[in-house]
């Protein structure tokens, strides 16, 4: 039984093999697998599929490039992107830029995977049928012009066919599990379906001509202004919420707006509102699992590091030079792994809002000097000029989490040393404005390319396109989380080939003499 023609592209043969077995068990027979996207494109130029599945990270051509070219050949065919959890932002980018049908994170749930594939094929068929009907309607129009004498008969025939299709479309909208709305550019609702009514607890009669902002909220985005000012044909909004007026329940939703392109002067949008409650629960469980796993890894790693240390320091006997070299390499690898585990735990704490800030009153200059003397040998090794410009009083006290602020300063200064060429200059600047503390690290290095600016404070952003880092890519991300947890702000200014300056502001951090000596306090952020 032929359930549809599927093209699968992934450079890893074990992935294509597992998909082959899974689809075969489900009765799919017309499946074409490729480990090279260029070979897949050659096939697509000759054969039209019902569904295209592509991995994101592939040599020669990534998933976005491949699916863009596939879209040029078959714009109506459903496309699915396989991506790792860390590449979720790229999956969202694929939805916005390429218009993929879905993205699936590795490893996937087999049942969800099969359902998504079947729905994608069904969607391709529905779009194809709709396209055929549009073609038929165009053909009918020409027939009406050609056979004007039989106008009434032809109109009646085509009207009946159109009524059937409208009834089918109305049935799809009515019984769709997702909320479906029609809104104008000012955010006023013109049509809704029963699912959206259930989400809001309001009947369609009361929803019509009311504004979408009354029912749907977003932390940072004004929906009405977004619809009015956007020129995009598709908009994906995450982290929205709908409050049910009857139950008071808040439902997390994602909304995909598609602009209706017709001859009307008024901009109108179709919105698909999806309840993501279960997805949020699944994400929370997954994050808790990752946190538990990384936490449990620390104990054996610490034990391994301590044991190797006993060998190296001679506690367990003398070593040959080869044995010492091997053990020192093992120790460094285990320490690097422990550092990654600790960084992932810190990320989880911030993402899950479980970080406890333990604020104390401490002398700022002492902390700056400590970090400076720790990093100075690294700067001297590259013959860099490493200086401090400190304006506040030598005994100025600030109220903050000393350990976390030290982490931020080490990150910013370490990055400056790493990305500044030999014999360059790095300056630490500390100023105060009332009770506000401003800290900055400037360098005369290569600067940051414009294409790297949007992702610089994101997770796993490793350096720039000019120079990659061998670290975890979590330093600036954690620095932003730490400063924002203190109620502050972190940002940077950069000019290509001239240098960069990273700054953070801690409001109300500087303590007056009367306030100094207060009890230490810990707060959960």
Distances (CA, A) of 100 to 90, 104, 182: 12, 11, 22
Same domain, 169 and 270: no
State the residue range of the domain holding 83: 1-173
Which residue carries 């009770």 as its tokens?
435
- pLDDT average per 10 residues of sequence, the chain (525 residues): 81 87 87 90 90 85 86 88 71 73 82 87 85 83 69 71 74 77 86 86 86 82 79 80 84 86 77 84 70 67 79 81 86 78 68 73 93 91 92 90 91 89 92 91 85 67 49 73 89 86 92 54 56
- H/E segment holding residue 487: none
Last residue of a domain, one of 247, 275, 303: 275
Tell me what pLDDT residue 352 has: 60
Same domain, 265 and 331: no
Instruction: Select from 178, 198, 201 the least CA-distant residue to 257.
Output: 178
Contact in structure between 376 and 414 (CB atoms under 8 Å) = no
Contact in structure between 267 and 185 (CB atoms under 8 Å) = yes
What is the rounded distance in angstroms from the CA atom of residue 349 to the CA atom of residue 152? Answer: 70
Same domain, 337 and 376: no
Same domain, 225 and 136: no
Same domain, 369 and 513: yes
Inter-residue long-range contacts of 21-25, CB under 8 Å, 24+ positions, other chains counted: 22/110, 22/113, 22/114, 23/114, 23/117
Handedness of CA 276, 172, 99, 67 (dihedral sign): positive
Which residue carries 């992935």 as its tokens?
15
Same domain, 16 and 136: yes
Same domain, 197 and 314: no
CATH code at 193? Answer: 3.30.450.20
Strand segments (E) across 244-378:
250-259, 268-275, 356-363
Contact in structure between 396 and 510 (CB atoms under 8 Å) = yes
What is the rounded distance in angstroms from the CA atom of residue 472 to the CA atom of residue 267? Answer: 45
Omega cis (within 30) before 107: yes
Which residues contact residue 117 at a Cβ distance below 8 angstroms, ignoring those fewer than 6 apart?
6, 23, 28, 51, 53, 80
CATH code at 88? Answer: 3.40.50.2300
What is the rounded distance in angstroms from the CA atom of residue 45 to the CA atom of residue 522? Answer: 63
Helices 402-419, 475-485: inter-axial angle, 10-degree rounding: 140
Same domain, 48 and 20: yes
Q: 369: helix, coil or strand?
A: helix
Burial 403-441 (b: 16+ CB within 10 A, else e): ebbbbbbbbbbbbbbbbbeeebbbbbbbebeeeebbbbb
Last residue of a domain, one of 132, 147, 173: 173
Same domain, 200 and 161: no
Report the greatest alpha carbon distance in the chain.
107
Last residue of a domain, one of 222, 250, 275: 275
Domain count, the chain: 4
Percentages of the chain per state (helix, strand, coil), in multiples of 5 = 50, 25, 30
Per DSSP, what are the bridge partners of residue 389? 429
Contact in structure between 246 and 203 (CB atoms under 8 Å) = no
Same domain, 109 and 255: no
Tell me what pLDDT residue 426 has: 93
Question: What is the CA angle 74-80-450, rounded to 5?
Answer: 90
Contact in structure between 200 and 245 (CB atoms under 8 Å) = yes
Which residue carries 């982490």 as its tokens?
407
What is the rounded distance in angstroms from the CA atom of residue 355 to the CA atom of residue 348? Answer: 9
Both structure tokens of 10: 């992934």
What is the rounded distance in angstroms from the CA atom of residue 107 to the CA atom of residue 113? Answer: 10
CATH code at 434? Answer: 3.30.565.10
Same domain, 334 and 436: no
Distances (CA, A) of 168 to 130, 133, 171, 179, 191: 11, 13, 5, 17, 17
Tell me what pLDDT residue 149 has: 62
Same domain, 191 and 69: no
Strand segments (E) across 336-471:
356-363, 385-390, 397-400, 425-433, 436-443
Q: What is the pTM of this model?
A: 0.44
Contact in structure between 437 and 396 (CB atoms under 8 Å) = no
């Amino acid at each position: 039984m032929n359930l549809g023609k599927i093209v699968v592209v992934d450079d890893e043969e074990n992935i294509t093999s597992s998909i082959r077995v899974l689809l075969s068990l489900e009765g799919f027979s017309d499946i074409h697998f490729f480990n090279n996207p260029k070979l897949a494109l050659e096939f697509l130029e000759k054969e039209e599929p019902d569904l295209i599945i592509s991995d994101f990270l592939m040599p020669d051509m990534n998933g976005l490039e491949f699916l863009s070219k596939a879209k040029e050949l078959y714009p109506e065919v459903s496309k699915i992107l396989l991506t790792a959890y860390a590449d979720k932002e790229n999956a969202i980018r694929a939805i916005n830029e390429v218009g993929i049908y879905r993205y699936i994170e590795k490893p996937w749930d087999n049942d969800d995977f099969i359902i998504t594939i079947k729905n994608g094929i069904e969607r391709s068929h529905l779009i194809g049928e709709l396209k055929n009907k549009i073609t038929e309607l165009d053909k009918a129009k020409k027939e009406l012009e050609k056979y004007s004498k039989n106008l009434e008969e032809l109109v009646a025939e085509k009207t009946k066919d159109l009524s059937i299709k409208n009834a089918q479309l109305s049935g799809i909208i009515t019984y769709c599990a997702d909320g479906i709305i029609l809104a104008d550019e000012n955010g006023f609702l013109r049509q809704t379906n029963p699912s959206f009514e259930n989400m809001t607890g309001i009947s369609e009669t009361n929803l019509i001509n009311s504004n979408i902002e009354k029912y749907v909220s977003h932390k940072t985005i004004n929906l009405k202004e977004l619809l009015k000012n956007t020129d995009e044909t598709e908009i994906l909004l995450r982290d929205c919420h709908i409050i049910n007026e009857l139950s008071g329940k808040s439902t997390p939703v994602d909304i995909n707006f598609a602009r209706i392109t017709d001859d009307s002067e008024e901009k109108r949008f179709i919105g698909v509102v999806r309840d993501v409650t279960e997805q949020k629960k699944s994400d929370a469980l997954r994050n808790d699992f990752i946190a538990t796993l990384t936490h449990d890894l620390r104990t054996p790693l610490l034990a391994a590091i301590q044991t190797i240390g006993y060998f190296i320091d001679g506690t367990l006997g003398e070593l040959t030079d080869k044995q010492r070299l091997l053990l020192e390499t093992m120790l460094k690898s285990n320490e690097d792994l422990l550092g990654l585990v600790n960084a992932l735990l810190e990320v989880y704490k911030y993402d899950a809002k479980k970080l406890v800030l333990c604020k104390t009153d401490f002398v700022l200059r002492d902390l700056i000097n400590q970090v400076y003397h720790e990093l100075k040998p690294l700067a001297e090794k590259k013959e860099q000029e490493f200086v401090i410009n400190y304006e506040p009083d030598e005994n100025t006290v600030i109220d903050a989490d000393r350990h976390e602020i030290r982490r931020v300063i080490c990150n910013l200064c370490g990055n400056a040393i790493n990305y500044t060429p030999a014999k360059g200059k790095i300056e630490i600047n500390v100023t105060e404005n009332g009770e506000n503390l401003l800290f900055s690290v400037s360098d005369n290095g290569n600067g940051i390319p414009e294409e790297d600016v949007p992702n610089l404070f994101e997770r796993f952003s490793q350096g720039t396109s000019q120079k990659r880092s061998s670290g975890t890519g979590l330093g600036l991300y954690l620095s932003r989380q730490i400063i924002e947890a203190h109620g502050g702000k972190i940002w940077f200014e950069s000019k290509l080939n001239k240098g960069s300056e990273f700054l953070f502001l801690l409001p109300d951090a500087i303590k007056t003499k009367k306030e100094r000596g207060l009890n230490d306090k810990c707060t959960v952020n």
